[in-house]
């Protein structure tokens, strides 16, 4: 299969393929999604096959506006209107209880709930509107690997397996959306993202708990990205605490391990002999934006034996960064032997 790269003036061609049941990857402000018409179960099933993704993993349904959700949702949480007004379009996915039979079990993972998001990307909103149906859109990569933040990342993973990719350059945020469960009484974060716990609490005026339960391989997650290990390159990743860089590099030298650094400029400038992926700035925003690109770049160069990654405090956007990094590293920090 030829995988075509579509530009802005070709959105109608991409939409036509989606209506025909083909798969087309699309850009969002977070990562690139692997798009299929959410109303065509056979197409959605192809998403799992192409990604190598477990079929019990629910998918996020991408909509062009809030009214598009009404065909599917059984009931809305009382705070829904306030949340949508403040955070849509944007990197916030909302989980609702849905009407029986409104979406195929292949979309919901067999659950009585479904996840919905209105992405903040004009090209993709036009694509959904032109298609005339919502689109499922898990990250457009091989399952378990770092999510794609450019069209070329998608092409690298899925060339010849999907019909097309709608290109919109690099994504602005770099990690997947926050997932907020609104199917129960208390809004609960199932996956942290760029819409932070603090932002939600400020708008809603209530405490918003974070579900830190890590789902085992045998369990069905309520939302994507809840597995213990995820976003993982083939190269082992170790998280490095601020005071451990010298110790970690000494250990690697003694073990004859070639190291790749994934770090901010203030850290990387001290270790110029290692292969490096340096974030644009010394900020959590730059680190989050570059996390998946850096993991991919160091892994795909096939020059290093281990990736040492910088950590950040686990608050605000740092919670989303560390959530992804911990899973990429299978929860492993460097520990002096």
Residues placed in the known binding site: 30, 53, 57, 62, 113, 117, 139, 147, 177, 191, 231
The DSSP symbol for 20 reads T
- Per the annotation, binding residues for L-threonine are 30, 62, 117, 177
Distance between CA atoms of residues 186 and 206, nearest Å: 9
Secondary structure of the chain: what % helix, strand, coil (to 5)? 35, 20, 50
Cβ–Cβ < 8 Å for 282, 327? no
Pairing of strands 259-263, 275-278: parallel
Angle between helices 197-204 and 80-87 (to 10 degrees): 120
| Residue 325 φ/ψ, nearest 5 degrees | -65, -40
Distance between CA atoms of residues 20 and 22, nearest Å: 6
Distance between CA atoms of residues 237 and 257, nearest Å: 12
Spatial neighbors of 327 by CB under 8 A, at least 6 apart, are 225, 227, 228, 229, 230, 231, 232
Spatial neighbors of 159 by CB under 8 A, at least 6 apart, are 3
- Per the annotation, binding residues for ATP are 53, 57, 113, 139, 147, 191, 231
Q: CA separation (Å) from 134 to 15, 32, 35, 124, 215?
A: 11, 16, 9, 11, 27
Distance between CA atoms of residues 185 and 207, nearest Å: 12
């Amino acid at each position: 299969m030829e995988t075509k790269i579509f530009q802005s003036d070709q959105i109608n061609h991409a939409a036509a393929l989606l209506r025909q049941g083909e798969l087309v990857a699309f850009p969002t402000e977070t990562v690139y999604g692997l798009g299929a018409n959410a109303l065509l179960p056979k197409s959605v099933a192809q998403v799992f096959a192409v990604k190598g993704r477990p079929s019990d993993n629910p998918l996020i349904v991408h909509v062009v506006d809030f009214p598009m959700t009404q065909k599917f949702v059984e009931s809305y949480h009382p705070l829904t209107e306030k949340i949508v007004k403040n955070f849509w379009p944007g990197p916030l996915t909302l989980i609702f209880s849905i009407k029986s039979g409104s979406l195929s079990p292949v979309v919901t993972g067999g659950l009585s709930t479904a996840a919905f998001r209105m992405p903040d990307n004009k090209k993709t909103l036009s694509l959904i509107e032109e298609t005339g149906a919502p689109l499922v859109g898990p990250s457009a990569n091989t399952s378990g690997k770092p999510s794609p933040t450019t069209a070329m990342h998608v092409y690298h993973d899925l060339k010849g397996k999907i019909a097309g990719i709608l290109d919109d350059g690099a994504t602005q945020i770099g990690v997947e959306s926050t997932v907020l469960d609104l199917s129960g009484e208390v809004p609960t974060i199932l996956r942290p993202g760029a819409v932070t716990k603090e932002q939600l609490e400020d708008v809603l005026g209530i405490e918003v708990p974070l579900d830190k339960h890590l789902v085992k391989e045998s369990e069905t997650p309520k939302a994507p990205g809840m597995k213990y290990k995820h976003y993982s390159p083939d190269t082992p990743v170790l998280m490095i605490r601020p005071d451990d860089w010298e110790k970690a590099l000494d250990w690697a030298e003694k073990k004859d391990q070639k190291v790749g650094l994934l770090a901010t400029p203030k850290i990387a400038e001290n270790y110029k002999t290692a292969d490096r992926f340096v974030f644009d700035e010394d900020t959590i925003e730059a680190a989050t934006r570059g996390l998946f690109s850096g993991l991919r770049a160091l892994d795909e160069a096939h020059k290093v034996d281990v990736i040492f990654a910088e950590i950040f405090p686990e608050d605000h956007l740092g919670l989303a960064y560390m959530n992804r990094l911990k899973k990429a590293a299978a929860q492993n920090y460097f520990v002096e032997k």
